[in-house]
Amino acid sequence: MSEERISTVVAEHLGFLPLSVIDDVVNAVNAIMYRGITAVDVYLKEQQKLQRKQVFKYLSDEEISVGMGKLESLLESTVDKNFDKYELYCRRNIFSIPEDLIGYVRLSHHEGIDFKGDIVSKKESFADDVKKLEFKISQELQLRKLLKLQLYKIKKLMVLLREFANVFKNLKIGENATTETKEIMESLQPVDETIYYINSQVKSLIDQISDLTKKVDADLKHHRFVPRLRERFIEGRTMKVIEQFEIDVREGVTRDILPKDLLD
């Protein structure tokens, strides 16, 4: 068990931090020391005024101030040095748990925890697993963004194909049309079948993307991740791709052209 863990267990048992007790003792001694220094300073100045003893006749105020400053520095350094030893002694011998009692001194919520086990190696293993899961989730989030972009492009393409098909349906070639025009129209006859095939494939792709989106949403609905620098970079590049399709994507402005599910 590490010293940090031992300090935590002791604090949980006592209900306060052991270091706070040590600090209170140090502060109390410092207060007594400063009161003593003040009393000595007052005594010297009073004796200087009374001049009952020969030594005080030749003692100036400046000499008293210099002497009191040196005395204060000496006492402070002595107290600090000894209290460093006092703090180490308290933390190692008083507010501590002996090694032979590790695992026996525990609170109710410590039941079932093996403090003697190889916790450090397990912790590192868990940390590696968490990093792998985080990386996998990040990949899934990026895939979701790309799929939403592709879904929007496909829907836009479907609209254009429907308009293209309607143009050919409304186009009529009269008897006075030239031979070249008739040949062109005959070569375009499979357009209806091609559009129907593309439409069916697009619908299938949309269904697959929807299923994948639902799966990702179900897996990540309890997770909230702050976007990292790489994610922001990829999102920015994605927006540039959308702008290449002549779509207004100003940052901070509602994009009425884009579907709401793409902006989520």
With a cut of 80, say whether residue 259 has pLDDT above it.
Answer: no
With beta carbons less than 8 A apart as the criterion, state whether 257 and 247 touch: yes
Dihedral sign, CA of 78, 82, 87, 90?
negative
Residue 262: how many CB atoms within 10 A of its CB?
A: 16
With a cut of 90, say whether residue 31 has pLDDT above it.
Answer: yes
- Which pLDDT score, from 0 to 100, does residue 74 have? 92
pLDDT band at 231 (very low <50, low <70, confident <90, very high): low
| Distance (Å, whole) CA 80 – CA 86 | 10
Residue 22: how many CB atoms within 10 A of its CB?
A: 19
- Closest to 157 in 3D by CA, of 96, 206, 107, 230: 206
With a cut of 50, say whether residue 262 has pLDDT above it.
Answer: no
Name the more confident of 112 and 191: 112
| Distance (Å, whole) CA 222 – CA 226 | 14
pLDDT band at 50 (very low <50, low <70, confident <90, very high): confident
The SS3 call for residue 6 is helix
Percent of the chain clearing pLDDT 70 (strictly above): 58
Distance of CA 117 to the CA centre of its chain: 30
Phi-psi region of 174 (alpha: psi -120 to 50; beta: other; left: phi over 0): beta
| Distance (Å, whole) CA 244 – CA 264 | 21
The two tokens of residue 172 are 């009529």
pLDDT one-digit tens code per residue, 4-28: 767 777 777 787 888 888 899 999 9
pLDDT band at 114 (very low <50, low <70, confident <90, very high): low
- Closest to 109 in 3D by CA, of 246, 217, 13, 235: 13
The SS3 call for residue 103 is coil
With beta carbons less than 8 A apart as the criterion, state whether 13 and 28 touch: no
